């Protein structure tokens, strides 16, 4: 099909934000990396695809490629198709839903290639934005029916039928398309236009139920590929965040944002200190006389910096073990700022459109990132030499 150019800079909203100042927060930029514009996953559970491809779009910019708008639904389609095969093979003993993880995008790009958004929007079902409730339910019902069928064996038609449902909702996979008058396949577009080596990308986490500096399969429901992460200490993890940004590498960030301390509207994510034992005498006295409503108003008004918890590895592990930190959301970290008290915040590109205070971005405090990070995806070259050696990465 004939496509308009995907390289118009005006489409992609490269962002370099200056100092922000609003309602008591005074942010000074430390690092601010280029990124393509904020997109909208709308009513779909595909944050992992949006954040992963946003990360790779920034990687393309980093190596000197023109800005691109890669197709999130191309990744979603292939993951659903291959996840269905695994789900059926495992007799349904696998999480089958629209969720996923960063390694899913790596998997698709290595195996199937990539296409620009214009070649595959995934909007073939009468909606202008992604609304996947019906599709998710139909696909789940289909594979469950295949597993529970009374024929005592699988038919030769079930996979074609499943692909037909994907075609109906997302559209048939493009086998060839044109960009700027040149014809591509998904494989040649990946090689010539994206130009990234997928073997350069790794995932890193930090939990104590597995040995440090070894790889493990992270135990989250959406990890249908059983992807491995490198396990490091919490101090190592925070070093990776800053070292990556300092050297021009953005970060794919898988985290839990279900806390009270996260506000999309206000564009903030914090972990306020609410334990009176950690307060000074006068602070404690005032705290203990306040109502619960007044305490919450003070902690979560997001109108000025507040004292935050000191996060430990033990707190991270307890939250993970007790389902308080889950595979909740995928985002991209593109920068870092400090407030007037010197507290660090990471600048986070979300995929919930631009209808908040910071045009679709938010600022997550160092404490929040330290506490609620599940895993990150980085270019392995963003690691320090010391960590590369500890992880046996060349």
Q: What is the mean pLDDT of residues 69-97?
A: 98
Q: What is the mean pLDDT of residues 136-150?
A: 97
- Band the pLDDT of 295: cuts 50, 70, 90: low
Say which CATH number the domain at 41 has.
3.90.70.10
pLDDT of 23 reads 54
Please state, in angstroms and rounded to a whole number, the distance separating the CA atoms of residues 208 and 205: 10
pLDDT at 97 over 70: yes
pLDDT of 300 reads 83
Joined tokens for residue 208: 């104590």
pLDDT of 297 reads 65
Count of the separate structural domains present in the chain: 1
pLDDT of 9 reads 41
Task: State the DSSP string of 246-298.
Answer: HTT--EEEEE---STTEETTTTEE--B---GGGS-HHHHHHHHHS-HHHHHHH
- Collapsing DSSP to helix, strand or coil, 384 comes out as coil
Would you say residue 112 lies in a domain?
yes
pLDDT of 13 reads 56
Would you say residue 248 lies in a domain?
yes
Q: What is the mean pLDDT of residues 128-147?
A: 98
Task: State the average pLDDT for the chain.
Answer: 91
pLDDT of 283 reads 53
pLDDT of 111 reads 98
Q: How crowded is residue 17: how many other Cβ atoms within 10 Å of its Cβ?
A: 15
Would you say residue 18 lies in a domain?
yes
Please state, in angstroms and rounded to a whole number, the distance separating the CA atoms of residues 251 and 346: 10
Q: What is the pTM of this model?
A: 0.91
Task: Mention every residue, 6+ apart, whose C-beta is less than 8 A from residue 143.
Answer: 84, 87, 88, 92, 96, 162
Would you say residue 302 lies in a domain?
no
Q: pLDDT by residue (tens digit) across 222-268?
A: 999 999 999 999 999 999 999 999 999 999 999 999 999 999 999 99
pLDDT at 180 over 70: yes
Please state, in angstroms and rounded to a whole number, the distance separating the CA atoms of residues 132 and 140: 12
- Band the pLDDT of 293: cuts 50, 70, 90: low
When mean pLDDT is compared across 113-117, 149-153, 247-251, the lowest value belongs to: 149-153
Q: What is the mean pLDDT of residues 12-34?
A: 70
- Kindly report the length of the chain: 394
Joined tokens for residue 154: 């699988």
Residue 108's domain comprises 9-271+308-391
Question: Partners of 202 in the beta sheet?
Answer: 378
Residue given tokens 């005074």 in the structure block: 26
Would you say residue 82 lies in a domain?
yes
Q: What is the mean pLDDT of residues 192-206?
A: 98
Q: Which residue in 218, 212, 203 sits closest to 313, CA to CA?
A: 212
Joined tokens for residue 388: 């590369």
pLDDT of 17 reads 44
Would you say residue 196 lies in a domain?
yes
What is residue 380's DSSP assignment? G
Burial string for 234-260 (b: 16+ CB within 10 Å, else e) reads bebbbbbbeebbeeebbbbbbbbbebe
pLDDT of 340 reads 95
Task: Mention every residue, 6+ apart, whose C-beta is less than 8 A from residue 281.
Answer: none
Would you say residue 283 lies in a domain?
no
When mean pLDDT is compared across 166-170, 175-179, 294-298, the lowest value belongs to: 294-298
Would you say residue 292 lies in a domain?
no
User: Who wins on pLDDT, 285 or 147?
Assistant: 147
């Amino acid at each position: 099909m004939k496509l308009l150019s995907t390289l118009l800079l005006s489409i992609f909203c490269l962002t370099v934000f200056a100092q922000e100042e609003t309602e008591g927060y005074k942010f000074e930029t430390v690092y601010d990396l280029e990124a393509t514009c904020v997109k909208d996953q709308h009513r779909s559970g595909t944050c992992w695809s949006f954040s992963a491809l946003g990360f790779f779009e920034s990687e393309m910019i980093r190596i000197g490629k023109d800005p691109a708008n890669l197709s999130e639904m191309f990744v979603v389609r292939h993951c659903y198709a291959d996840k269905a095969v695994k789900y059926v093979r495992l007799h349904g003993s696998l999480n089958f839903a629209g969720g996923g993880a960063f390694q899913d995008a790596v998997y698709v790009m290595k195996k199937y290639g990539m296409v620009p958004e214009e070649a595959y929007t995934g909007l073939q079902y009468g909606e202008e934005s992604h609304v996947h409730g019906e599709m998710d339910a139909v696909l789940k019902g289909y594979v469950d029916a295949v597993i529970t069928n009374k024929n005592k064996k699988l038919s030769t038609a079930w996979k074609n039928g499943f692909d037909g449902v994907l075609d109906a909702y997302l559209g048939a996979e493009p086998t060839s398309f044109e960009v700027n008058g040149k014809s591509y396949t998904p494989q040649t577009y990946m090689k010539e236009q994206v130009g990234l080596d997928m073997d350069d990308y790794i995932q890193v986490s930090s939990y104590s139920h597995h040995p440090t500096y070894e790889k493990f399969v992270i135990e989250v429901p959406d990890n249908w590929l059983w992807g491995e992460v490198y396990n490091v200490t919490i101090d190592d993890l925070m070093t990776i965040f800053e070292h990556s940004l300092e050297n021009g590498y953005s970060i794919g960030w898988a985290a839990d944002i279900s806390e009270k301390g996260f506000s999309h509207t206000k564009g903030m994510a914090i972990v306020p200190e609410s334990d009176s034992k950690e307060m000074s005498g006068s602070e404690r006295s005032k705290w203990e006389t306040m109502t619960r409503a007044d305490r919450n108003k003070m902690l979560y008004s997001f109108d000025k910096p507040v004292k935050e918890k000191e996060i430990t590895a033990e707190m991270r592990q307890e939250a993970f073990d007790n389902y308080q930190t889950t595979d909740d959301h995928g985002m991209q970290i593109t920068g870092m700022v400090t407030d007037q008290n010197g507290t660090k915040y990471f600048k986070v590109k979300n995929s919930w459109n631009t209808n908040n205070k910071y045009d679709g971005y938010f600022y997550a405090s160092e404490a929040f990132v330290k506490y609620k990070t599940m895993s990150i995806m980085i270019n392995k070259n963003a690691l320090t030499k010391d960590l590369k050696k500890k992880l046996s990465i060349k």
